[in-house]
Each structure stands twice: as structure tokens, then as C-alpha cells.
Structure 1
């Protein structure tokens, strides 16, 4: 009797579970994308403050610092957009 009960639970090809998992996973992309955009905004603000600080003090390395912070912000935005378009 126990074996027949286990067989009843194991029927099906699992497509319902895969469909449910897919819908749950895609539901996380919008909040995750917004979180990555917020992180990019914070990184941008921190970078702007650091670049302004270096520019104000007359540091000759200001351009390199600005480029690296700008590249980090662009990477976060592009990564969020590409991941969203790739998986959705």
C-alpha cells in the first residue's frame, strides 16, 4: 500500500514544478534589477564625491579615478540590463 502511494506522488514529468520554479525565478528579476540600479546610483554618488575631492586637492590622478568610477557605474547598469534581457 505504501509503495502504491509513492507511485501516485511520483507520476508526471515534472513540467508543473519546472513551470512554477520558472515563474518564481522571473518574479525576482524586477526587484533585483531595481536593486542593482540603486547600487549603481550609490556607487555613482560615492564616485562623484571622491573625484570632486581629488579634483579640489589638485591630484593629477583625477582622470583615472573618474574613469574607474564611471566604468563601475556603467558596468552595473549594463550588467543589470543584459541579465534581465538574457533571462526574460
Structure 2
């Protein structure tokens, strides 16, 4: 009876050791994959950030033209329009800067 219990525990120890080694191997592979993914994402940050800033500049130009047209036509809503376009432009430019700061 004692030998069966000892055999069971030795088998359980071997199974636990095999499980730990396989988890260690899997973690090593996933760490290499995470490093590769981080490097790949980091290579896209500058172009995406510059694109967002450029979109913010275009939105600012379009907003400036639209506000100028409203102002020339005598619309009473020009201040509200200025704040809306300025807020959108500022948001896009800040998002581009924050993305660059967050990932670099």
C-alpha cells in the first residue's frame, strides 16, 4: 500500500515539474512576441502622430474659413462657431502630442 502512495506522489511531482517547465517555456515565447509587437507598434507612432497633427491643422484651416464666412455674413453665432472649431483643432493637436509622449 505504501508503494502505491509513493508512486502516486512521485507521479504528481513529475506532472507538476512538467507543468512548471511548460509554463516557463510559454512565458519565454510570449515575452519575445510582446517585445516584437512593442517594437512594431513603436515604429508606427511617429507617422500616426504626425498624421493626427496634420488633420488638426486642416480642421483648423477649414474652421477658420467657415468662421470667416459666418462673420462676413453677419451671423450672430460666430463666437459659438469659433469655440467649436478651435476646440476640435486643439483636441486633435493635443491627441497627436499625447500619443507621441505616451509611446516614446
Same-fold status (TM-score > 0.5): yes
The match for 2:57 among 31, 41, 54 is 41
> Number of matched residues?
80
- Computing the radius of gyration over CA atoms, which structure comes out larger, 1 or 2? 2
Q: Report the alpha carbon displacement of residue 46 of structure 1 after superposing the two structures with TM.
A: 0.7
Alignment-derived partner of residue 22 in structure 1? 38
Query: In structure 2, what is the Cα distance between the partners aligned to 1:37 and 1:11?
Result: 38
* Long gaps (5+) in structure 1: 1-6
RMSD: 1.7
After TM superposition, give the deviation of residue 75 of structure 1 in Å: 0.4
Cα drift, residue 11 of structure 1: 8.5
Partners of 1:11 and 1:64 in 2: how far apart?
A: 55
State TM-score, norm by structure 1. 0.82
Structure 1 runs of 4+ with >3 Å offset: 10-13
TM-score, normalised to structure 2, is 0.70
Stretches of structure 2 that go unaligned for 5 or more consecutive residues are: 1-21
For 1:66-77, what aligned pairs fall within 5 Å after superposition?
Answer: 66-77=82-93
Asked whether 1:51 is paired with 2:67, we answer yes
